[in-house]
């Protein structure tokens, strides 16, 4: 379906848990987030029901995310269940890769179309710092296990932190040169803990890579469902991409909505607006009524994020509730791991 601004919405990011086996500094507090009671998390059948209804509204692609989706028991079964829904063309996964090696066979067997693996640095010491204790060897074993399936599209995602060394990006980009994966650099967004960390812009990274690898060619073939801009450096077997939501806003072409693990449907990352579908699912509401509620939220998707306003504190704060807003709209107070980044 199209939203109020004529954008076709065909992609739903589905968070299956708010828990994680890492504690990336810009995503989660050291002590983790307060655990959501098990019974508040949508069951696989509830997720599948919402995806079926989503298909009637034009959703054809699902991304499973979290928290860390692979810590949810039976995740490959959910993936298989969603793949079996007529009208769902792609089910993909975003993971930190730590548990990927042990689950990859089953995920591929159940029909996973592609996997994004988040690895911010290949330097073991830095990785341990950024993830607060993670072992990069485990993420790399996950990457190797995924790369062993030639038909599976594999991407590595990096959120570059301001204090990272140039060598770290060069090493990451080299994964694309070797042909292991497309490598994408994602700008830090002022969501959750991301408000107190600064990252590097896509342009800054590209300049460093160009100095090292030579002038890249713009890669214009369609790749994936998102807003990444891809280039190919000389001699590279795979691409390097840039997702620059802050420095180059791309809301005009935004095609997605988000479903949190607690069943809250969100039309935009930055705002708190949305609707609680879990309440509807658990109160005997019909598919038609749920569909109309989803349609309303999707239709009312905001025009664009206001990350710049967030950064410049162009916000008002409600004296009574403490709620922050910009342009009259309440801002999201939850972090990325709870929204389903």
Q: Residue 9: how many CA atoms within 13 Å on its side-chain side?
A: 29
Q: Is 205 among the residues that bind ligand SAM (CB under 6 A)?
A: no
Applying CB under 6 A, among 11, 12, 15, 23 the residue interacting with ligand SF4 is: 23
Q: Is 28 among the residues that bind ligand SF4 (CB under 6 A)?
A: yes
Site for ligand SAM in 93-112 (CB under 6 A): 94-96
Per-residue mark of binding to ligand SF4, 146-185 (x: CB under 6 A): ----------------------------------------
Residue 322 zone, left/alpha/beta (φ > 0; ψ -120 to 50; rest)? left
Q: Is the dihedral of CA 239, 240, 243, 249 positive or negative?
A: negative
CA 216, CA 153: separation in Å to the nearest integer? 21
CA 5, CA 23: separation in Å to the nearest integer? 37
14 makes contact, choosing from ligand SAM, ligand SF4, none, with CB < 5 to 8 Å by partner type, with none
CA 63, CA 302: separation in Å to the nearest integer? 21
Per-residue mark of binding to ligand SF4, 308-337 (x: CB under 6 A): -----------------------------x
Q: Is 68 among the residues that bind ligand SF4 (CB under 6 A)?
A: yes
Q: Which of 20, 3, 75 is CA-nearest to residue 340? A: 20
Residue 71 CB, shortest distance to ligand SAM, in Å, is 9
Q: Is 22 among the residues that bind ligand SF4 (CB under 6 A)?
A: yes
**Residues in contact with ligand SAM, total (CB under 6 A)?**
20
Residue 80 CB, shortest distance to ligand SF4, in Å, is 23
Cβ pair 180, 195 in contact under 8 A: no
Applying CB under 6 A, among 47, 91, 143, 191 the residue interacting with ligand SAM is: 191
Cβ pair 143, 122 in contact under 8 A: no
Select the span of 36-44, 125-133, 187-195, 266-274 touching ligand SAM (CB under 6 A): 187-195
Q: Which two tokens stand for residue 2?
A: 């199209």
Cβ pair 312, 42 in contact under 8 A: no
Dihedral pair phi/psi, residue 67, rounded to 5° = 25, -165
Q: Is 92 among the residues that bind ligand SAM (CB under 6 A)?
A: no
Applying CB under 6 A, among 16, 55, 63, 67 the residue interacting with ligand SF4 is: 67
């Amino acid at each position: 379906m199209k939203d109020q601004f004529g954008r076709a919405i065909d992609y739903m990011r589905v968070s299956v848990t708010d828990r994680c086996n890492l504690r990336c500094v810009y995503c989660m507090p050291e002590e983790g987030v307060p655990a959501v009671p098990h019974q508040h998390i949508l069951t696989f059948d509830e997720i599948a029901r919402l995806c079926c209804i989503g298909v009637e509204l034009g959703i054809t692609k699902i991304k499973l995310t979290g928290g860390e989706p692979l810590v949810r028991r039976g995740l490959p079964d959910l993936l298989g269940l969603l793949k079996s829904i007529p009208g769902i063309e792609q089910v993909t996964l975003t993971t930190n890769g730590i548990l990927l090696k042990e689950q990859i066979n089953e995920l591929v067997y159940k029909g996973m179309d592609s996997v994004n693996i988040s690895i911010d640095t290949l330097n073991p010491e830095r990785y341990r710092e950024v993830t607060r204790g993670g072992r990069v060897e485990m993420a790399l074993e996950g990457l190797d296990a995924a790369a062993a399936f030639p038909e599976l599209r594999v991407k590595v995602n990096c959120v570059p932190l301001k204090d990272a060394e140039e060598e770290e990006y060069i090493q990451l980009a080299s994964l694309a040169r070797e042909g292991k994966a497309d490598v994408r650099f994602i700008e830090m967004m002022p969501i959750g803990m991301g408000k107190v960390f600064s990252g590097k812009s896509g342009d800054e990274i590209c300049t460093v890579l160009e100095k090292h690898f030579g002038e890249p060619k713009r890669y214009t073939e369609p790749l994936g469902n998102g807003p990444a801009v891809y280039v190919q450096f000389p001699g590279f077997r795979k691409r390097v991409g840039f997702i620059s939501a802050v420095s180059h806003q791309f809301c005009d072409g935004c095609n997605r909505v988000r479903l949190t693990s607690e069943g809250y449907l969100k039309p935009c990352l930055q705002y708190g607006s949305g609707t609680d579908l879990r309440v509807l699912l658990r109160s005997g509401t019909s598919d038609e009524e749920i569909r109309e509620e989803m349609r309303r939220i999707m239709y009312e998707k905001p025009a664009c994020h206001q990350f710049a306003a967030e950064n410049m504190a162009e916000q008002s704060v409600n004296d009574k509730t403490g709620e922050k807003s910009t342009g009259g709209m309440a801002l999201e107070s939850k972090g990325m791991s709870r929204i389903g980044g």
